[in-house]
């Protein structure tokens, strides 16, 4: 079974430009999450999709970030316009309550996209 | 959300058993304790989860005392490939995960 994949693995853009990150969850996983780690900080939650609906977007830093999950499959996270403080690693994770072993279901993480804004 | 505290770093020699303790004094009744492992340039990976007493799987054991205010991840006979950051999380339900600073474990040959 393929794991969570993310594209690109690394992106370098200039301040003010737009970048779109993509996440393909494990097939059949309704839950999709975005997290990020900015330099020197902890991994922080951004938002949670259940199928195509945003369940929780409390972690989105501001309106320069837009996440979509059309059709409930892959998701994109767009940053427009990018700022220097957006640099970091953006992780995507997915989970399926149907296969969980407990209330806190296992989340499967992708390798992350390293975003560098110069 | 419950906050966790764990050592910033630990060193151990190959072949030894490693125990990483996490404090979570404000854990709620419905919270589970989950540990994730992260290698460089990879996303976190689920290791083990428990509610109380002891849980064991093919990778690790998790010890949780009766008051549940702490937990200990035990890695038997570690190898160099166990060098990673280990995160202790306290969560309930299919919701966002709250990561702390984690414990950077270094295995020495």
- State yes or no: pLDDT of B23 exceeds 90: yes
Residue with the larger pLDDT of the pair A117 and A1: A117
Of A4, A43, A95, which is closest to B94 when you measure between CB atoms? A95
- Hey, are the CB atoms on A33 and B97 less than 8 Å from each other? yes
* pLDDT tens digit sequence for A6-60: 999 999 999 999 999 999 999 989 899 999 999 889 999 999 999 999 999 999 9
The pLDDT score that the predictor gives to residue B42 is 95
- Hey, are the CB atoms on B94 and A101 less than 8 Å from each other? no
- Helix (H/G/I), strand (E/B), else coil: A86: helix
CA distance B45 to B5: 19
The pLDDT score that the predictor gives to residue A89 is 97
- Hey, are the CB atoms on B98 and A111 less than 8 Å from each other? no
Measure B44 CA to nearest chain A CA, in Å. Answer: 6
What is chain A's mean pLDDT, rounded? 91
CA distance A92 to A111: 8
| Distances A48 to A54, A58, A90, A105, B44 between C-alpha atoms, Å | 6, 9, 14, 14, 17
Task: Tell whether B28 is within 8 A of chain A (Cβ).
Answer: no
Strand A113-117 to B53-56 pairing: unpaired
CA distance A19 to A65: 10
Strand A44-50 to A53-56 pairing: antiparallel
What contacts B20, CB < 8 A, 6 or more positions away? B6, B7, B10, B72, B73, B75, B86, B88, B103, B105
Interface test with A, best of B4, B37, B46 (most A CBs within 10 A): B46
Nearest chain B residue to A10 by CA: give it: B41
Q: How many CB pairs under 8 A join A and B?
A: 67
- Hey, are the CB atoms on B43 and A100 less than 8 Å from each other? no
The pLDDT score that the predictor gives to residue A102 is 52
CA distance B30 to B91: 8
- State yes or no: pLDDT of A80 exceeds 80: yes
- Most confidently modeled range among A67-71, A113-117, B3-7: A113-117
Tokens of A30: 């309704």
- Hey, are the CB atoms on A59 and B96 less than 8 Å from each other? yes
Question: φ, ψ for residue A114 (rounded to 5)?
Answer: -90, 115
- Hey, are the CB atoms on B96 and A42 less than 8 Å from each other? no
């Amino acid at each position: 079974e393929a794991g969570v994949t993310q594209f690109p693995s690394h992106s370098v853009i200039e301040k003010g430009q737009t970048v779109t990150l993509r996440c393909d969850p494990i097939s059949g996983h309704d839950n999709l999450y975005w997290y990020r780690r900015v330099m020197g900080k902890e991994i922080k939650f951004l938002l949670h999709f259940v199928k195509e609906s945003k369940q929780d977007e409390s972690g989105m830093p501001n309106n320069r970030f837009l996440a979509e999950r059309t059709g409930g499959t892959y998701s994109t996270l767009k940053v427009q316009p990018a700022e220097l403080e957006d640099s970091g690693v953006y992780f995507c994770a997915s989970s399926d309550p149907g296969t969980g072993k407990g209330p806190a279901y296992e989340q499967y993480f992708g390798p992350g996209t390293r975003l560098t804004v110069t | 959300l419950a906050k966790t505290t764990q050592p910033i770093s630990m060193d151990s020699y190959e072949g030894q058993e490693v125990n990483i303790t996490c404090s979570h004094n404000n854990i709620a009744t419905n919270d589970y304790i989950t540990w994730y492992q992260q290698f460089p340039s990879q996303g976190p990976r689920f290791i083990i989860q428990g509610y109380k007493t002891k849980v064991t799987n093919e990778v690790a054991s998790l010890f949780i005392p009766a008051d549940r205010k702490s937990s200990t991840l035990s890695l038997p006979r570690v190898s160099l490939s166990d060098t990673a950051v280990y995160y202790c999380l306290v969560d309930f339900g299919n919701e966002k995960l709250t990561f702390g600073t984690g414990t950077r474990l270094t295995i020495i040959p």
